[in-house]
Structure 1
Amino acid sequence: MSVALVIVTVVAIAANAGIAAADFAKAPFVLANSAEVRVKREWVPWLAALKTAGAAGLLIGLVGYPPLGVAAAVGLVLFYVGAVATHVHTRVLHNLHFPAGYLALAVATLALTVAG
């Protein structure tokens, strides 16, 4: 297991857990962004659950069962591809760097996990 894999995965876990916590707490910035990209408010907890599951899967993959880490990374890549697509579809580009950053973390985690 490489140092890069551990660092990138830990950052991805923290980032996804953090944004999931903000989603579950219905932070004002989360609700504003969701409304702007036309995501229904009642979907936010479900999306947070997916982010939480992704973070948990990355953690389990890192500490003991790598296939789950790969599956979680694939799931997060797909999730954030959808988020980026939603931003582009709704033409909300001023904050596209947020889902794109999470996508980059998920892609990096997936690449390092598969290579590792």
Structure 2
Amino acid sequence: MSTLTAVLAVLLAGVFLLLGAAKLAAVAAMRQAAAHVGMTTNRYRLLGAMEVAAAAGLLTGLRIPALGAAASTGLILLMTGAVVVHLRAGDPAARCLPAVVMGALAAAHLALLAGG
């Protein structure tokens, strides 16, 4: 595994561990975000659990690359869903940018893993 692949894994894991934990804890900003897109707090917590699981998968993937690849794939799907949810909520395309960037980073991580 290259240094870049490991750095991407740790970066993604850190971001999604923080965001996922905030969703699981239902902090005020996350409750507001959930309400904005028409989601219940419990459903948002489920998304948070998936993000925390993906973070764990990315870190485990440092030793077992197949798990890292699965975690990256899951994050790509989650971020694609986030873009769709934001657009359906009437948000401007710019509001989707964080999800697009994180999805692109997850895709880069997956491509690096596939490349050897």
CA–CA separation in structure 2 for the residues paired with 1:27 and 1:98: 19
Structure 2 residue 53 is the aligned partner of structure 1 residue 68? no
Count of residue correspondences? 115
User: CA, structure 1 residues 27+95, in 2 after alignment: closer, same or farther (shift >3 Å)?
Assistant: farther
In the alignment, which residue of structure 2 is the partner of 1:17? Answer: 17
CA–CA separation in structure 2 for the residues paired with 1:54 and 1:111: 17
Structure 2 residue 82 is the aligned partner of structure 1 residue 83? yes
Provide Cα deviations, 1:1-46, integer angstroms capped at 9, x if missing partner: 2111111111001001010111112122111111111122121211
Are the equivalent residues in 2 in contact too, given 1:37–1:92 (CA < 8 A)? Answer: no
Q: Secondary structure at the match of 1:96?
A: helix
What stretches of structure 1 of length at least 5 have no aligned partner? none
What stretches of structure 2 of length at least 5 have no aligned partner? none
TM-score normalised according to structure 1 size: 0.90
* Letter aligned with residue 4 of structure 1: L
Q: Secondary structure at the match of 1:39?
A: coil
Could you list the structure 1 runs, at least 4 aligned residues long, displaced by more than 3 angstroms after superposition.
none
Higher-RCO chain (CA-CA 8 Å, sequence separation at least 6): 1
CA–CA separation in structure 2 for the residues paired with 1:102 and 1:37: 19
Are the equivalent residues in 2 in contact too, given 1:36–1:92 (CA < 8 A)? Answer: no
In the alignment, which residue of structure 2 is the partner of 1:54? Answer: 54
Are the equivalent residues in 1 in contact too, given 2:83–2:99 (CA < 8 A)? Answer: yes
TM-score normalised according to structure 2 size: 0.90
CA–CA separation in structure 2 for the residues paired with 1:13 and 1:42: 22
